[in-house]
Chain A
Amino acid sequence: MSDELSTIHVSEAIRQVMVDHARDCYPEEACGLLAGQPDGRLAKAYPLTNIAHSPANYVIDPAEHFRTLRHARSQGWELVGVFHSHTHSPAYPSPTDVALAPEPDWLYVLVGMERMDTLSVRGFRIRDNQITETALSFEAALSFESHPQEERRL
Protein backbone atom coordinates (compact mmCIF):
# COMPACT_ATOMS: atom_id res chain seq x y z
CA MET A 1 0.00 0.00 0.00
CA SER A 2 1.35 3.43 -0.91
CA ASP A 3 0.75 6.45 1.27
CA GLU A 4 0.18 9.00 -1.49
CA LEU A 5 -0.60 11.81 0.94
CA SER A 6 2.92 11.80 2.33
CA THR A 7 5.03 11.84 -0.80
CA ILE A 8 8.60 12.68 0.09
CA HIS A 9 10.55 14.84 -2.33
CA VAL A 10 14.13 13.66 -2.66
CA SER A 11 16.66 15.85 -4.40
CA GLU A 12 18.92 14.27 -6.98
CA ALA A 13 21.91 15.06 -4.77
CA ILE A 14 20.45 13.11 -1.85
CA ARG A 15 19.45 10.20 -4.08
CA GLN A 16 22.95 10.17 -5.53
CA VAL A 17 24.58 10.06 -2.08
CA MET A 18 22.52 6.97 -1.20
CA VAL A 19 23.16 5.22 -4.51
CA ASP A 20 26.88 6.04 -4.51
CA HIS A 21 27.24 4.78 -0.95
CA ALA A 22 25.45 1.55 -1.87
CA ARG A 23 27.87 1.02 -4.73
CA ASP A 24 30.92 2.03 -2.66
CA CYS A 25 30.08 -0.46 0.09
CA TYR A 26 29.11 -3.36 -2.18
CA PRO A 27 29.23 -6.32 -1.53
CA GLU A 28 28.48 -5.19 2.01
CA GLU A 29 25.23 -3.46 2.86
CA ALA A 30 25.51 0.32 2.96
CA CYS A 31 23.72 2.45 5.53
CA GLY A 32 23.24 6.02 6.56
CA LEU A 33 20.90 8.53 8.12
CA LEU A 34 18.57 11.15 6.72
CA ALA A 35 18.08 14.62 8.13
CA GLY A 36 14.99 16.71 7.57
CA GLN A 37 14.18 20.36 7.72
CA PRO A 38 11.51 21.69 10.11
CA ASP A 39 9.02 21.87 7.23
CA GLY A 40 9.46 18.15 6.61
CA ARG A 41 11.64 18.30 3.52
CA LEU A 42 14.73 16.10 3.40
CA ALA A 43 17.88 18.12 3.98
CA LYS A 44 20.75 15.68 3.74
CA ALA A 45 21.75 12.03 3.48
CA TYR A 46 24.69 11.04 5.67
CA PRO A 47 26.58 7.97 4.42
CA LEU A 48 27.83 6.13 7.51
CA THR A 49 29.77 3.02 8.41
CA ASN A 50 28.11 -0.38 8.64
CA ILE A 51 30.01 -1.87 11.56
CA ALA A 52 28.50 -5.29 10.77
CA HIS A 53 30.44 -5.27 7.46
CA SER A 54 27.97 -7.79 6.14
CA PRO A 55 26.19 -8.38 2.84
CA ALA A 56 23.06 -9.31 4.77
CA ASN A 57 22.90 -6.97 7.77
CA TYR A 58 23.78 -3.48 8.85
CA VAL A 59 24.46 -1.71 12.11
CA ILE A 60 25.20 2.00 11.99
CA ASP A 61 28.33 2.98 13.89
CA PRO A 62 26.94 4.47 17.13
CA ALA A 63 29.63 7.16 17.33
CA GLU A 64 28.87 8.29 13.79
CA HIS A 65 25.17 8.22 14.60
CA PHE A 66 25.83 10.52 17.55
CA ARG A 67 27.99 12.92 15.53
CA THR A 68 25.38 12.95 12.78
CA LEU A 69 22.70 13.85 15.31
CA ARG A 70 24.85 16.69 16.60
CA HIS A 71 25.60 17.95 13.09
CA ALA A 72 21.96 17.81 12.03
CA ARG A 73 20.80 19.71 15.09
CA SER A 74 23.51 22.33 14.55
CA GLN A 75 21.89 22.97 11.17
CA GLY A 76 18.40 23.18 12.63
CA TRP A 77 17.47 19.74 11.28
CA GLU A 78 16.34 16.52 12.89
CA LEU A 79 17.12 12.95 11.98
CA VAL A 80 14.05 11.70 10.15
CA GLY A 81 15.10 8.44 8.60
CA VAL A 82 17.61 5.82 7.66
CA PHE A 83 18.68 4.36 4.35
CA HIS A 84 20.39 1.09 3.58
CA SER A 85 21.03 -1.19 0.65
CA HIS A 86 19.87 -4.69 -0.11
CA THR A 87 22.67 -6.25 -2.09
CA HIS A 88 20.78 -9.26 -3.41
CA SER A 89 17.13 -8.61 -2.68
CA PRO A 90 14.50 -6.05 -3.63
CA ALA A 91 14.17 -2.59 -2.16
CA TYR A 92 11.62 -3.71 0.39
CA PRO A 93 12.00 -4.03 4.17
CA SER A 94 13.13 -7.45 5.31
CA PRO A 95 11.71 -9.13 8.42
CA THR A 96 14.88 -8.04 10.21
CA ASP A 97 14.31 -4.44 9.13
CA VAL A 98 10.80 -4.58 10.53
CA ALA A 99 11.84 -6.25 13.77
CA LEU A 100 14.62 -3.74 14.43
CA ALA A 101 12.96 -0.56 13.15
CA PRO A 102 14.04 1.94 15.82
CA GLU A 103 11.70 4.85 15.21
CA PRO A 104 8.01 4.68 14.19
CA ASP A 105 8.08 8.13 12.63
CA TRP A 106 11.19 7.60 10.50
CA LEU A 107 11.39 7.17 6.79
CA TYR A 108 13.08 3.91 5.81
CA VAL A 109 14.71 4.14 2.40
CA LEU A 110 15.87 0.98 0.67
CA VAL A 111 18.32 0.85 -2.21
CA GLY A 112 17.82 -2.37 -4.12
CA MET A 113 20.90 -3.67 -5.95
CA GLU A 114 19.47 -6.65 -7.78
CA ARG A 115 20.35 -4.85 -11.00
CA MET A 116 23.53 -2.81 -10.70
CA ASP A 117 22.70 -0.76 -13.78
CA THR A 118 19.36 0.44 -12.45
CA LEU A 119 19.30 0.58 -8.67
CA SER A 120 15.84 1.02 -7.21
CA VAL A 121 15.22 3.48 -4.37
CA ARG A 122 11.99 3.20 -2.40
CA GLY A 123 10.69 4.63 0.86
CA PHE A 124 8.64 3.08 3.64
CA ARG A 125 7.20 3.69 7.07
CA ILE A 126 7.40 0.85 9.58
CA ARG A 127 4.96 1.15 12.45
CA ASP A 128 3.76 -1.60 14.75
CA ASN A 129 5.44 -4.15 12.48
CA GLN A 130 3.39 -2.91 9.53
CA ILE A 131 5.08 -1.72 6.33
CA THR A 132 3.57 1.13 4.34
CA GLU A 133 5.26 2.42 1.22
CA THR A 134 5.80 6.15 1.06
CA ALA A 135 6.04 7.55 -2.43
CA LEU A 136 9.37 9.20 -3.21
CA SER A 137 9.63 11.82 -5.94
CA PHE A 138 13.08 12.55 -7.25
CA GLU A 139 13.80 16.10 -8.26
CA ALA A 140 16.89 17.39 -10.00
CA ALA A 141 17.32 20.85 -8.52
CA LEU A 142 15.42 22.27 -5.60
CA SER A 143 15.93 25.70 -4.13
CA PHE A 144 16.47 24.36 -0.61
CA GLU A 145 19.29 22.09 -1.74
CA SER A 146 22.26 24.13 -0.63
CA HIS A 147 24.44 21.42 0.77
CA PRO A 148 24.70 18.64 -1.77
CA GLN A 149 27.75 16.67 -0.73
CA GLU A 150 29.97 19.05 1.14
CA GLU A 151 30.58 16.44 3.80
CA ARG A 152 30.54 12.86 2.61
CA ARG A 153 31.46 11.54 6.03
CA LEU A 154 31.39 12.97 9.47
Chain B
Amino acid sequence: MTHTIRLPTILRVHAGGDASVTARGATVGEIFADLGKRYSGLARQLLDPDGSVPVFVNVFLNDEDIRYLQGLNTPCSQPSEITILPSVAGG
Protein backbone atom coordinates (compact mmCIF):
# COMPACT_ATOMS: atom_id res chain seq x y z
CA MET B 1 0.00 0.00 0.00
CA THR B 2 1.41 3.36 -1.02
CA HIS B 3 1.30 6.39 1.25
CA THR B 4 2.21 10.02 0.74
CA ILE B 5 4.68 11.74 3.04
CA ARG B 6 4.64 15.54 3.02
CA LEU B 7 7.95 17.12 3.90
CA PRO B 8 8.85 20.49 5.38
CA THR B 9 11.19 22.68 3.36
CA ILE B 10 14.17 21.90 5.54
CA LEU B 11 13.97 18.17 4.78
CA ARG B 12 13.34 18.40 1.05
CA VAL B 13 17.04 18.55 0.33
CA HIS B 14 17.12 14.90 1.38
CA ALA B 15 14.43 14.01 -1.16
CA GLY B 16 15.71 15.66 -4.29
CA GLY B 17 13.85 18.87 -3.47
CA ASP B 18 10.42 17.25 -3.60
CA ALA B 19 7.69 18.51 -1.28
CA SER B 20 6.27 15.02 -0.93
CA VAL B 21 7.41 11.47 -1.49
CA THR B 22 5.69 8.12 -1.46
CA ALA B 23 6.51 4.96 0.43
CA ARG B 24 4.97 1.61 1.21
CA GLY B 25 4.25 -0.10 4.50
CA ALA B 26 1.62 -1.31 6.89
CA THR B 27 2.75 0.84 9.80
CA VAL B 28 4.40 4.24 10.15
CA GLY B 29 7.63 2.49 11.08
CA GLU B 30 7.51 0.31 7.96
CA ILE B 31 6.85 3.39 5.85
CA PHE B 32 9.89 5.14 7.33
CA ALA B 33 11.97 2.01 6.72
CA ASP B 34 10.85 1.99 3.10
CA LEU B 35 11.73 5.66 2.81
CA GLY B 36 15.19 4.87 4.12
CA LYS B 37 15.85 2.51 1.20
CA ARG B 38 15.65 5.43 -1.24
CA TYR B 39 16.35 8.45 0.94
CA SER B 40 18.90 7.46 3.55
CA GLY B 41 19.54 11.08 4.52
CA LEU B 42 15.85 11.64 5.09
CA ALA B 43 15.57 8.54 7.23
CA ARG B 44 18.40 9.78 9.42
CA GLN B 45 16.41 12.94 10.09
CA LEU B 46 13.25 11.04 10.95
CA LEU B 47 14.74 8.36 13.18
CA ASP B 48 17.27 8.47 15.97
CA PRO B 49 20.00 5.80 16.06
CA ASP B 50 17.85 3.92 18.57
CA GLY B 51 15.01 3.81 16.06
CA SER B 52 12.76 6.35 17.77
CA VAL B 53 11.36 9.56 16.35
CA PRO B 54 13.41 12.56 17.53
CA VAL B 55 11.60 14.80 20.00
CA PHE B 56 11.88 17.78 17.66
CA VAL B 57 10.14 15.93 14.83
CA ASN B 58 6.35 15.76 14.78
CA VAL B 59 4.65 13.10 12.70
CA PHE B 60 0.98 13.33 11.81
CA LEU B 61 -0.86 10.42 10.26
CA ASN B 62 -3.73 12.04 8.43
CA ASP B 63 -4.98 14.34 11.23
CA GLU B 64 -3.43 12.68 14.28
CA ASP B 65 -0.07 13.01 16.01
CA ILE B 66 1.36 9.49 16.12
CA ARG B 67 2.55 10.15 19.69
CA TYR B 68 -1.09 9.84 20.69
CA LEU B 69 -1.65 6.74 18.58
CA GLN B 70 0.82 3.88 18.65
CA GLY B 71 3.92 5.76 17.58
CA LEU B 72 5.87 4.01 14.86
CA ASN B 73 3.66 0.96 15.35
CA THR B 74 0.57 2.89 14.28
CA PRO B 75 -1.11 0.87 11.51
CA CYS B 76 -1.79 2.43 8.11
CA SER B 77 -4.51 0.22 6.72
CA GLN B 78 -5.60 2.72 4.09
CA PRO B 79 -3.55 4.88 1.74
CA SER B 80 -2.59 7.65 4.10
CA GLU B 81 -0.99 11.05 4.21
CA ILE B 82 1.86 11.50 6.67
CA THR B 83 2.92 15.05 7.44
CA ILE B 84 6.32 15.74 8.95
CA LEU B 85 6.59 18.96 10.92
CA PRO B 86 9.73 20.15 12.67
CA SER B 87 9.18 21.56 16.11
CA VAL B 88 9.09 25.34 16.04
CA ALA B 89 10.90 26.56 19.10
CA GLY B 90 13.33 29.15 20.32
CA GLY B 91 14.28 31.30 23.21
- On A, residues with C-beta under 8 Å from B are 31, 33, 52, 56-60, 62-63, 65-66, 69, 82, 84, 93-97, 100-105
Q: List B contacts of A60 (CB < 8 A).
A: 87-89
Q: List B contacts of A104 (CB < 8 A).
A: 9-10
Which chain B residues (35-91) contact chain A, with CB distance < 8 Å?
56, 58, 60, 63, 65, 83, 85-91
- On B, residues with C-beta under 8 Å from A are 8-10, 56, 58, 60, 63, 65, 83, 85-91
Contact of B91 among A97, A103, A105 (CB under 8 A): A97
- State the majority secondary structure of interface residues on A: mixed
* Cβ of A22 to closest chain B Cβ, rounded Å: 14
How many interface contacts (CB-CB < 8 Å) are there between A and B?
A: 63
Q: In the complex, which residue of chain B has the Cβ closest to the Cβ of A31?
A: B88
Q: List A contacts of B8 (CB < 8 A).
A: 102-103
Q: List B contacts of A62 (CB < 8 A).
A: 58, 65, 85, 87
| Cβ–Cβ contact A65 & B88, under 8 A | yes
Q: List A contacts of B83 (CB < 8 A).
A: 66, 69
List 15 A-B residue pairs with CB atoms under 8 Å apart, sorted by A's residue number: A31-B88, A33-B88, A56-B91, A57-B91, A58-B89, A62-B58, A69-B83, A82-B90, A97-B91, A100-B89, A100-B90, A101-B90, A103-B8, A103-B10, A103-B86
